[in-house]
Structure formats: C-alpha cells, structure tokens
Chains A and B, each alone.
Chain A
Amino acid sequence: DAKTTQPNSMESNEEEPVHLPCNHSTISGTDYIHWYRQLPSQGPEYVIHGLTSNVNNRMASLAIAEDRKSSTLILHRATLRDAAVYYCILRARGIQGAQKLVFGQGTRLTINP
C-alpha cells in the first residue's frame, strides 16, 4: 500500500479555518485519497475522498495537488467538535481488496476555544 505522511499534531482556534496536509508522493494513478477522523473512544468517521479534482461536502473540502503527490483537508470553520485524529489514507482502485483501508498515524487536531 502506498504510504501517506501527516504531521503528528496540529492546533487551531475555534471558528478559524484549518488546513491539514498529507503527503503521498508514491501515489499511483488509480489511488483514491480518503480522509477519516476519529473522536476519542469512537470508531472512525468518513470525512471526504477524491481522485483528481478538488471535492467539497458538508463537512470539509479536499484540495488535491495537480501532481497528486499531496492533498489538504480543509475545515472551513473549526468547532470544538472537530477535535479529533484525522487520517489520510490511499485506497487502490480495483476489485479484489479494493475497499481495505490501511490507517497511518494520523494528525491529532486540537481546537482552542
């Protein structure tokens, strides 16, 4: 599985935008970029995913570099409930084992009131 690199931790203030970076220099042309987050003592929660184009949903935006070797998860206006560990994961497109997700260490996001 292609690997991702994320900062161990980040800190931001409530109601400010947050940009969470992820490097994936060994990404292949058919890998999707997924983001999940995990609140304490809970299972992970899907945030967003994309392939080449930038993506927006109600939770966040995903900005993908033109060479696809990096991406940024954008929380437009952080709230205290966004404090979590955010995981950037690559998923290979395909049939066999296509939906298996391998988690890295993630970024622990702290939101200050």
Chain B
Amino acid sequence: GAVVSQHPSRVICKSGTSVKIECRSLDFQATTMFWYRQFPKQSLMLMATSNEGSKATYEQGVEKDKFLINHASLTLSTLTVTSAHPEDSSFYICSAPWLVGTGELFFGEGSRLTVL
C-alpha cells in the first residue's frame, strides 16, 4: 500500500545549526504534503502545507524563515529547521493524501529532533 517515509527518524544537533528532514511519498505522487509538529503529550499542530512547484502555505504563528519547506518534486518535500534552538526540539511529522479529494492522509513515521 501507499507509504510515506521520513528521514531521519531521529536527529540530535547543536544549537544554532540547521537540520533538514525529508518526507517521501512511495508508490504515489503527492502535489501536496503537510508538516506537523508534536510536543510531548500534546496533539499534532499543523505547521504548513507544502505545494509542489510553488511556495508553502504556513499556518498562523509559524515562522516561514525558521522552517523552510521545499517541495521540488512530486515525491519529496523537505523541512529545514534553521538555526535550531532547544525549544525547536519536537516530533516532526509529514503527511500526504493518497487519493486526491478523499481526505485520507498517510503519515510518515515522524522525525524526532533534539537540539542541545
């Protein structure tokens, strides 16, 4: 079946560095992908909508210069956390719709970022 894969699953970095997280749709193409962030014991918070070939759409309160999203192909979206700080430590999850219009989203396994 359709799968959405994220890489890396875990990453530890020093404060001030940038980290890139990849989200790939396997077996299908995704013109749209979604990025979520989840803090411990909290729900998922939608950060942005990644659109293939155009700019991402960010949710209110999410810094677009801090969280750079690139959707260069129909199977790959990347989220780059720039100049990471400890408060950016979180579980980042991407998702992509399987059949356009069905509303069924497939989610990646998530990427746990720890900023020291």
Interface set of A (CB-CB < 8 Å, partner B): 32, 34, 36, 38, 41-46, 49, 87, 91, 97-106
Contacts and interface: CB of A to CB of B under 8 A. Distances in A.
9 contacts: A42-B109, A43-B95, A43-B107, A44-B95, A99-B97, A99-B105, A100-B34, A103-B43, A103-B46
B103 A98 contact: yes
Contact of A103 (B44, B100, B104): B44
The 3 closest A-B pairs by CB, nearest first: A43-B107, A103-B44, A91-B103
Most B CB contacts (10 A, CB to CB) among A34, A43, A87, A105 go to: A43
B32 A43 contact: no
B46 A44 contact: no
Interface in B88-116: 91, 93, 95, 97, 100-101, 103-110, 112
B103 A101 contact: yes
B75 interface: no
A97 B95 contact: no
A41 B9 CA distance: 10
Interface of B: 4, 6, 32, 34, 36, 43-46, 49, 91, 93, 95, 97, 100-101, 103-110, 112
Contacts of B45: 103
Nearest to B99: A99
B9 to A, nearest CB: 9
A98 B110 contact: no
A99 B32 CA distance: 9
A39 to B, nearest CB: 11
Contacts of A34: 103-104
Contacts of B105: 36, 44, 46, 99, 101
B49 A97 contact: yes
A99 B57 CA distance: 13
Contact of B43 (A42, A49, A100, A106): A106
